[in-house]
Chains A and B, each alone.
Chain A
């Protein structure tokens, strides 16, 4: 028992990876699925990681984000699947439920943000990534990260101040949930 080896550096990051994955998917099982996928990729790419140049945490976040993106694309490619899933989950789908939500409930408000915006609030505001690191994680220019972050903060503030989500449309304007409007 006492002769244990040093844990792999990735292991200590797992709780943060799970938190990030959950911020993206908002669903525990698919989040853990994503983390597992990310760990497998990270271990496979471990020897190619450029020691100092790739700080471990942003490097892992970038892999996870990348895996999430390709799943998104795979799912969007199956139009029969996605709208049904969308219609069935999340508080934003049935407009009538909004009134019942506690408007100050941060979690409910976060659920109404597009995934990438929600992820940025975590990456920059909580994980403390630099704008440049966050941009590498999301594979977009720094300018995009900053305008996205400003939008996320303004929108979340409006939501927690009790403004219904219908106002100020373009709510899903950032590739969040393009199928929603088509669901009948």
Chain B
């Protein structure tokens, strides 16, 4: 019988299960245990969801430009002015993104101060609402005209809803959200594909500074591509993975900046 694990399952086992630090044979033991113990299963599922949320939450912290005071001690060894820029770019992952996609090199590689909180705010909103079964949106896609007019008015710009139909994602609808910038209002548009995977496009006003090129934030499952254009910050967030998300973010970007 494979019903009961060979040895007692401890809290340490449950942790190691969530953190993926168990040998495969022990994993199977734990899975068998979870199948029979709903309380432990709920605890483990809670931890797993939380781990995803935490990766998104902490990812934004890596985007911040490093103050010169912290690198001053190294500067004596490295006379170049170019290197810090490259290093910041590398941290942001822009260098990796650069290959074969010259179009988003149009923006300057400015430090990320302008939009530091944007992907985080967008990711929080994404995590809260993309899990909603009953009320994912305030205004459904069948009232798109009303949705766009309303959110445009609140956010303070004529919003366009990009189409992702060609990528297999249909518009679910949208909602108004509080924001920490501009007039404190943000719009969220939600998309869904046939498998039920969701993407959200987040738009908020009040992004000071100049336009930026594409940036990427994310660790673990959820990831966001974000940019600033004409004082508005945009972020496309999803759990589809960076490679899958990039072409869609590109489509959105092109439709919005055309």
Contact = CB atoms under 8 A, between A and B. Distances in A.
Given A7-B87, A12-B87, A126 B54 contact: yes
Contacts of A7: 74, 78, 83, 87
B54 A15 contact: no
A121 interface: yes
Contacts of A180: none
Interface in B16-64: 16, 19, 21, 43, 46-47, 50-51, 53-55, 57-59, 61-62, 64
Interface stretch (B65-73, B139-147, B162-170): B65-73
Contacts of B46: 153, 157
A103 B54 CA distance: 15
Contacts of B16: 131
A154 B64 contact: no
B12 A15 contact: no
Contacts of A85: none
Contact of A121 (B54, B69, B81, B91): B54
B74 A125 contact: no
Contacts of B12: 146
B91 A15 contact: yes
Given A8-B74, A12-B87, A154-B43, A18 B61 contact: yes
Contacts of A36: 69-70
Contacts of B81: 1
Contacts, number: 101
Given A125-B51, A125-B54, A126-B54, A15 B64 contact: yes
Interface residues of B, number: 42
Given A126-B58, A130-B21, A35 B70 contact: yes
A81 to B, nearest CB: 25
6 contacts: A8-B74, A15-B66, A18-B61, A39-B73, A146-B15, A160-B53
Given A12-B91, A125-B51, A153-B50, 11 more contacts: A3-B79, A4-B79, A5-B78, A7-B83, A8-B77, A11-B74, A11-B87, A121-B54, A126-B59, A146-B15, A153-B15
Interface of B: 11-12, 14-16, 19, 21, 43, 46-47, 50-51, 53-55, 57-59, 61-62, 64, 66-67, 69-71, 73-74, 77-83, 87, 90-91, 124, 128, 219-220
